[in-house]
Amino acid sequence: MGSDLLGTINTGMSGLMAYSQGLQDIGNNLTNVNTPGYKGTETQFSDLFEQESEGAGGSAQQTGAGLTTMGSNINFTAGTLNPTGNPLDVAITGNGFFVTTSGGQQNYTRAGQFQFNSSGILINSADGQNVAGFGSNGQLENISLMSLQNNPAKVTSDVTFNGALNDTASTNPTLGGITVTDPAGGQHTLSLSFSLNAAATPPTGDSWTVTATDSTGATVGTGTIQYNLSTGAPVATADTINLSYSPGGMTAFPIKLDFSGTTSSDLGTTTTPSSIAVNNVNGYAAGTLVSETFNSSGTLVATYSNGQTANGPTLALAYFNSEQDLTETSGNNFVAGNPSEAKFGIAGTGTLGTITAGSIEGSNVNLSQEFSNLIVMQRGYQAASQVLSTANDMIQTLFDMKKE
């Protein structure tokens, strides 16, 4: 009987140890409820049996030996996306992990809190690991901002217009504030004046002389545009004016004024002004970097002071045939038991999810479930301790009997 009671003590002790492990997992889940990208764990319990060689009729018997744990399973369900307003915070909607590197080792994470360090390299804010993207050769490499610091100027070559010219207005229209960019990146303001000519012979109707001047009052160029008599639409062979502009004595560069999107007709009264306006001016001054973010495919998008944007490297996402091959480490990271199992791709392709900028993925811990598990774990621990206490009391009774 004494050996059976000692076995019972071991059984109770196994329960205390197993439930302690379960309590540790629950405690870790609860304390990480606000940790970005955290994936909750659940302790896996298993019963223990001992094989005994003696039994009725000489057959072997099994005796319960308590409780053990089979490790902890990671719950890889997605957490809630939480907007942060930080353009470099990114979250994955769907399958995949961000790839970070440190000391030659690849790590995987769902926590997309990124920033650029002083060297212009994208790093994980949590632990400073480099975030991997795809290079021009399709291989993994660091995401660098250095080549995107400036946006070069683009010379103006075309100015397009829309709206209507009123051929019955008492005053001829003028149009100013047209900013053009020269080949050196300098910017200049042009103005246009329109003068209605005598009506032309059908099929052409209204004819307008257009004169372009710069901010100094110097004439840049002049030309004539014509419109159809019946429709008011511009005549295809006379809807553009070509200028040659040489500001400040620099080498002249061509600018085409395109009026194909305008009309000329009787707008009803002599007091109704023409509505002609600039539709688009290509070309722009040089710009400096003002902000960065990522689009839905994970491509870095740089925005410049001149209003232009440029695309940089693209984030690399990793996926695995079985996520249970991953092991949690510190810093919201996972490591792969077999690194060759990792497959890489671009967000939104294949089975990979898409990227949402300005958000992070929160913990997937379910507080209600965890508190329920906490109560169950506590009751199990109490039950195991009661078994241990009862067996100890019975052994003490045996010792007391011997004293008598």
Which residues make Cβ contacts (< 8 Å) with residue 115, sequence separation at least 6? 88, 122, 123, 125
Percent residues over pLDDT 70 in the chain:
90
**Apex CA 382: angle with CA 380 and CA 387, to 5°?**
95
Confidence band, pLDDT 50/70/90 cuts, at residue 311: very high
In the structure encoding, which two tokens stand for residue 233, read together? 């639409």
Residue 324 has pLDDT above 90, yes or no: no
> Are 326 and 386 contacting, i.e. CB atoms less than 8 angstroms apart?
no
Average pLDDT over residues 278-287: 94
Strand partners, 162: 277
Topology of domain 158-281, per CATH?
Tick-borne Encephalitis virus Glycoprotein; domain 1 (2.60.98)
User: 227 forms bridges with which residues in the sheet?
Assistant: 234
Q: How confident is the model at residue 356 (pLDDT cuts 50, 70, 90)?
A: very high
Token pair 């217009």 in the structure block, residue:
161
Per the structure block, which two tokens stand in for 348?
């939104």
**Per-residue confidence at 3, pLDDT binned at 50, 70, 90?**
low
Strands 130-134 and 97-102: antiparallel
Three-class secondary structure of residue 153 per DSSP = coil
Report yes or no: 153 and 285 within 8 Å, Cβ to Cβ.
yes
Structural contact between residues 354 and 295, judged by C-beta atoms closer than 8 angstroms: no
Is the pLDDT at 11 greater than 80? The verdict is no
Q: Report how far residue 255's alpha carbon sits from residue 223's, in angstroms, rounded to the nearest whole number.
A: 13
Neighbours of 197 (CB within 10 A): 11
Note the maximum CA span of the chain. 138
Residue keyed to tokens 């997992």: 25
Position 58 scores a pLDDT of 56
Q: Which helix (H) or strand (E) holds 286?
A: none
Going from N- to C-terminal start, the domains of the chain cover 2-77+364-403, 81-150+289-361, 158-281
Round the average pLDDT of the chain to a whole number and report it. 87
Averaging pLDDT over each range in 4-8, 30-34, 55-59, which range is the top one? 30-34
**How many Cβ atoms sit within 10 Å of the Cβ of residue 102?**
15
- Mean of pLDDT values over 48-61: 58
Q: What integer pLDDT is reported at residue 8 of this predicted model?
A: 72
Taking 90 as the threshold, does the pLDDT of residue 144 lie above it?
Answer: yes
287 Cβ contact list (under 8 Å, min separation 6): 150, 151, 304, 305, 306, 307, 308
| Torsion of the alpha carbons at 54, 56, 60 and 66, rounded to the nearest 10 | -80
Averaged pLDDT for residues 228-252: 91
Q: Which two tokens stand for residue 290?
A: 């003002």
**Cβ neighbours for 137, distance < 8 A, ≥ 6 positions apart:** none
Q: Which residue has the higher pLDDT, 248 or 215?
A: 215
pLDDT for 328 beyond 60? yes
Pairing of strands 158-166, 253-258: parallel
